[in-house]
Amino acid sequence: MTQFLSLLLNGISLGAIYALIALGFVIIFKASEVVSFTHGSLLLLGAYTIARLSDPLGFYLAALVGVAITALAAFVVERLIINRLRGAPVISLAIVTIGVDIILLTELIRRIGSDILNVPHPWGGGSFRIGDVGISMNRLIATIVAGVLIALFFVAFKYSSWGVSMRASAEDGETAALMGIRLGRVSALAWAVAGALAGVAALFLVGSPTPGVSPSAYTVALRAFPAAILGGLDSTGGALVGGLLIGLAESFAAGYQEQLLFLGRGFGDVVPYIVMIIVLLVRPSGLFGTKELTRV
Amino acid sequence: MSESTATATQRSTGDRGRPAAAAPRRSWVRPLLLALVLVVLLALPLYIEEFWLRTGFAVCVAIVGAIGLNLLVGTTGQLSLAQGFFLAVGATTYVFVSGESGGIGLADLSGLGWPPLVGMIAGVLAAGLAGLLFSPIAARLRGIYLGVASLGLVFIGQHVLNSWTSVTGGFNGRSAPEFSLFGFTFGNRDPELYVLAVPFREAERLWYLGLVLALGAYLFARNLLRSRPGRALQTLRDSEVAASVMGVNVQGYKARVFLVSSMYAGLAGVMFALSVGSIAPESFGLEVSILYLAMIVLGGLGSVGGAVLGAVFVTALPLIFQRYADVVPLVGGPGESGLAAGEAARYLFGLAIILVVLFEPAGLAGLAGRFRRKGRGSGGGRLTRRSSAVTSSSTTSVPSDRPAQGSTT
Closest Cβ opposite residue A106 in set B297, B346, B392: B346
| Residue B197 pLDDT | 61
Q: Is residue B165 situated within a structural domain?
A: yes
**A2-282 maps to which CATH number?**
1.10.3470
| pLDDT over 80 at A157, yes or no | yes
Distance CA A19, CA A24 (A): 8
Of residues B389 and B134, the one with the higher pLDDT is B134
Local confidence band at B381 (pLDDT 50, 70, 90 cut-offs): very low
pLDDT at B395 over 50: no
User: Could you tell me the pTM of the whole model?
Assistant: 0.80
pLDDT attached to residue A82: 86
Residues A173/A183, Cβ–Cβ less than 8 Å: yes
Give chain B positions within 8 Å (CB) of A85.
357-358, 398
User: What integer pLDDT is reported at residue B183 of this predicted model?
Assistant: 64
Among chain A residues, CA nearest to B74 = A91
Category of B81 on φ-ψ map: left (φ > 0), alpha (ψ -120 to 50) or beta: alpha
- Chosen for mutation from B158, B159, B288 (greatest number of chain A CBs closer than 10 Å) is B159
Interface with A, mutate which of B78, B145, B164 (most A CBs under 10 A): B145
Between β-strands B278-279 and B174-175, what pairing exists: parallel, antiparallel or unpaired?
antiparallel
Put simply, the answer to whether A103 touches B136 (Cβ < 8 Å) is no
Chain A contacts in chain B segment 312-371 (CB below 8 A): 339-340, 343, 346-347, 349-354, 357-358, 361
CB contact under 8 A, A263 and B163: yes
Q: Which of A59, B376, A248, A3 is nearest to B368 (CA)?
A: B376
Instruction: Answer whether residue A68 shows pLDDT above 90.
Output: yes
A195 falls in which pLDDT band (50, 70, 90)? very high
Asked whether residue B316 carries a pLDDT value surpassing 70, the answer given is yes
Does residue B408 form part of some domain? no
* Inter-chain CB proximity B290 and A98 less than 8 Å: yes
Chain B, window 46-85: residues with a beta carbon less than 8 angstroms from a chain A beta carbon = 73, 77, 79
- Amino acid identity of A178? L
Q: What's the structural domain count of chain B?
A: 1
Query: Is pLDDT above 60 for B328?
Result: yes
CA distance A156 to A191: 15
In this prediction, what percent of chain B has a pLDDT beyond 90? 1
Are A101 and B143 a contacting pair at CB < 8 A? no
Closest partner CB to A266 (pick from B140, B159, B392): B159
What integer is the mean pLDDT of A199-224? 80
Structure confidence by residue, pLDDT tens digits, B153-177: 888 888 888 877 777 777 777 777 7
Nearest to A106 among B343, B354, B393 (CB): B343
- Assess if residue B378 is contained within a domain: yes
Q: Which of A18-22, A242-246, B25-29, B403-407 has the lowest mean pLDDT?
A: B403-407
Mean per-residue pLDDT of chain B: 74
pLDDT at residue B185 greater than cutoff 90: no
B80 in a structural domain:
yes
ipTM rounded to 2 decimals: 0.82
CA distance B141 to chain A (A): 6
Three-class SS of A239-277: HHHHHHHHHHHHHHHHHCCCCCHHHCCCHHHCHHHHHHH
Arithmetic mean of pLDDT, A251-260: 78
**Residue B251, domain extent:** 2-401
Q: Please, are residues A12 and A167 in contact by the beta-carbon 8 Å criterion?
A: no
**pLDDT for B108 beyond 70:** no
Task: Classify B249 as helix, strand or coil.
Answer: coil
Which one of B76, B357, B387 would you mutate to disrupt binding with A, by most A Cβ within 10 Å of its Cβ? Answer: B357
The residue with greater pLDDT, B310 or B188, is B310
- Whole-number mean pLDDT of chain A? 83
Distance from CA of B137 to the nearest CA of A (A): 6
User: Which residue in A26, A34, A98 has the most chain B C-beta atoms within 10 A of its own C-beta, making it the best mutation to test that interface?
Assistant: A98
